[in-house]
Amino acid sequence: MNHLFEKLRVQIRFMFLHLARELRKSSRSTPVVRESKNLFTKEIKIPVFVSFAVTVILFYLMLFIVFGINWRSMIATAIFVVVNIILFIVQVKSKEQNIIKDNDAVFLMSFLFVIAILICQLSREYSSPFITPVGAFSLMGAILLSQRIGTLYAISLSLVVAFLNDFRFDIFLVMLCGSVAAITNVSNIRRRSDFINSGVKVSVVNILIVAMFYLFDAYGSSQFKYDLIYSALNGSIVTVLLLVLMPLFEKLFSRTTNIKLIELSDFNNSLLKRLMLEAPGTYHHSIMTADIAERAANPVNENSLLARIGAYYHDIGKLNNPNYFIENQTLGHNPHDVLTPEMSRLILVSHVKDGVSLAKRYNIDNEIINIIQQHHGTTSMYSFYHRALEEDANVNIEDFRYQGPKPQTKVAAIVMMADSCEAACRSIEEPTVVRIQDMVEKIINNKFIDGQFSECPITLKDLKSIRDSIISTIVGIYHARIEYKQK
């Protein structure tokens, strides 16, 4: 009787908690939200062929007008445009399949290219060609799309600037070398202040190339001074353009860059701070999972920074009911003991949904939201299923599964494995290397057999590398405890 009364009391308490939370949500002033819908990616889907055709036409017209309106320049411009377009098509089609399939990415690639050509025209018209910020567009292409696209921009735009300025080889070399300097080590650009370094690199390389041509007697000393000043100024223009345009393009095209990820990893941001204060157990679990996921992403050449930040946020949905998750419970008190398995199932499932809506409210990027949504895939909650079986033999395991979707990317799969392995190894009372190995292998094998990786492009070779990395990281984490136990 007492047990029944206690059960009823907890159920009522849970209902009130839920009601209070909903009321709080509706009365709280919502933080500034960047809706996941944005101008281009959700509302207007521009097909690849439209972006491509418009770019080719604009590219042709902008050059044709400069070269002169006659049949010779018409044909010559056409050949130049075709050569450039073929260069892009060959490279992107063979090496950048992800971009080809992504309408928004192709549109961004075209948009950046057209704007860059326009700026090349303007700088030729109103200033010196040496000031053309080809490096800024190459670096934007490298950060927002890929390093290969950045390199293609560097080559193609340098050719355009040279062709627009009497086919001058010195201008081509200055533009190309400056841009290549800007996009070298693009993966190390993790803060907006790094754009200043990029600008400095562009200026230094430009000055060196201009000086080289002067020493070869290609310029007179008055022209040398003039070109030197403009090529040095080029770096400043590159920095200013990057600082102004990058955040705009990140937002408009919903691109998750390393810079954005680093900003999301700041523990002073309100969501991670809330996790630290309101669910310290989950916070600690997320930090451990982030370490494991980040290292596991390296051997399979995936974005380790995305894996880390995805893991930081994967369980933020637990903020709504932190005490119902084992890592936040104090010894001997588990609120699930007095809940029905069905109620427990609902609480567990809701942490994924709550995580997604919290992330949207707090302006978190879509790539992170996808990881939150997929981190449990459609795995089952065995312990509650078994408890439900004790009460009703006809319970279906399918009713005790998370609602998915399954991981769609390798990074989401890595976070899923890191999450489960961290939680499971934490429960090993006396961890040894063999026990950790067995546990990690068991978890990854079970997820594989359960079909959780059937929707992401992960190979058996990848799984082996990820497993080895997870084992070595977890063994490293428990190193002191293992040594202590073995003494």
Ranges within 42-61 binding Fe ion (CB under 5 A): none
Rounded to a whole number of angstroms, the minimum distance from the CB of residue 100 to Fe ion is 34
Applying CB under 5 A, the site for Fe ion has a residue count of 2
Specify the residue for token string 């996009």. Answer: 183
In this structure, how many other beta carbons lie within 10 angstroms of the beta carbon of residue 52? Answer: 17
Is residue 127 helix, strand or coil?
coil
Tell me the residue ranges of DSSP E strands in 223-342.
none
In this structure, how many other beta carbons lie within 10 angstroms of the beta carbon of residue 293? Answer: 34
Identity of residue 66 = V
Of residues 317, 336, 327, the one with CA closest to residue 386: 336
354 binds Fe ion (CB under 5 A): no
Pick between residue 250 and residue 315 the one whose CB is nearest to Fe ion.
315
In this structure, how many other beta carbons lie within 10 angstroms of the beta carbon of residue 398? Answer: 9
Pick between residue 81 and residue 292 the one whose CB is nearest to Fe ion.
292
Pick between residue 100 and residue 428 the one whose CB is nearest to Fe ion.
428
Using the rule CB under 5 A, give the single segment among 133-141, 380-388, 406-414, 418-426 that binds Fe ion: 418-426
Rounded to a whole number of angstroms, the minimum distance from the CB of residue 376 to Fe ion is 6
DSSP state for residue 380 in the 8-state scheme: B
Rounded to a whole number of angstroms, the minimum distance from the CB of residue 316 to Fe ion is 9
Pick between residue 194 and residue 419 the one whose CB is nearest to Fe ion.
419
Pick between residue 149 and residue 356 the one whose CB is nearest to Fe ion.
356
Of residues 316, 275, 285, 325, the one with CA closest to residue 477: 285
Ranges within 302-341 binding Fe ion (CB under 5 A): 315
In this structure, how many other beta carbons lie within 10 angstroms of the beta carbon of residue 222? Answer: 8
Using the rule CB under 5 A, give the single segment among 62-70, 109-117, 387-395, 411-419 that binds Fe ion: 411-419
Is residue 401 helix, strand or coil?
strand
Pick between residue 242 and residue 279 the one whose CB is nearest to Fe ion.
279
Rounded to a whole number of angstroms, the minimum distance from the CB of residue 355 to Fe ion is 8
Pick between residue 178 and residue 355 the one whose CB is nearest to Fe ion.
355
Spatial separation of the C-alpha atoms in residues 436 and 420, rounded to whole Å: 12
Of residues 183, 176, 157, the one with CA closest to residue 87: 157
Rounded to a whole number of angstroms, the minimum distance from the CB of residue 370 to Fe ion is 14
Rounded to a whole number of angstroms, the minimum distance from the CB of residue 395 to Fe ion is 22
Pick between residue 182 and residue 444 the one whose CB is nearest to Fe ion.
444
- Beta-carbon contacts of 246 under 8 Å, excluding residues fewer than 6 positions away, are 140, 143, 144, 192, 195, 257, 259
Pick between residue 291 and residue 419 the one whose CB is nearest to Fe ion.
419
In this structure, how many other beta carbons lie within 10 angstroms of the beta carbon of residue 13? Answer: 12
Rounded to a whole number of angstroms, the minimum distance from the CB of residue 282 to Fe ion is 7
Rounded to a whole number of angstroms, the minimum distance from the CB of residue 352 to Fe ion is 7
Contact 410, 458 (CB under 8 A): yes
Pick between residue 294 and residue 315 the one whose CB is nearest to Fe ion.
315
Using the rule CB under 5 A, give the single segment among 91-99, 305-313, 364-372, 417-425 that binds Fe ion: 417-425
Is residue 65 helix, strand or coil?
helix
DSSP for 465-482, please give it.
HHHHHHHHHHHHHTHHHH
In this structure, how many other beta carbons lie within 10 angstroms of the beta carbon of residue 351? Answer: 26
Rounded to a whole number of angstroms, the minimum distance from the CB of residue 264 to Fe ion is 17
Using the rule CB under 5 A, give the single segment among 71-79, 200-208, 412-420, 445-453 that binds Fe ion: 412-420
Rounded to a whole number of angstroms, the minimum distance from the CB of residue 347 to Fe ion is 12
Using the rule CB under 5 A, give the single segment among 138-146, 202-210, 328-336, 414-422 that binds Fe ion: 414-422
419 binds Fe ion (CB under 5 A): yes
Phi, psi of 37 (to 5 degrees): -75, 135
Site for Fe ion, rule CB under 5 A: 315, 419
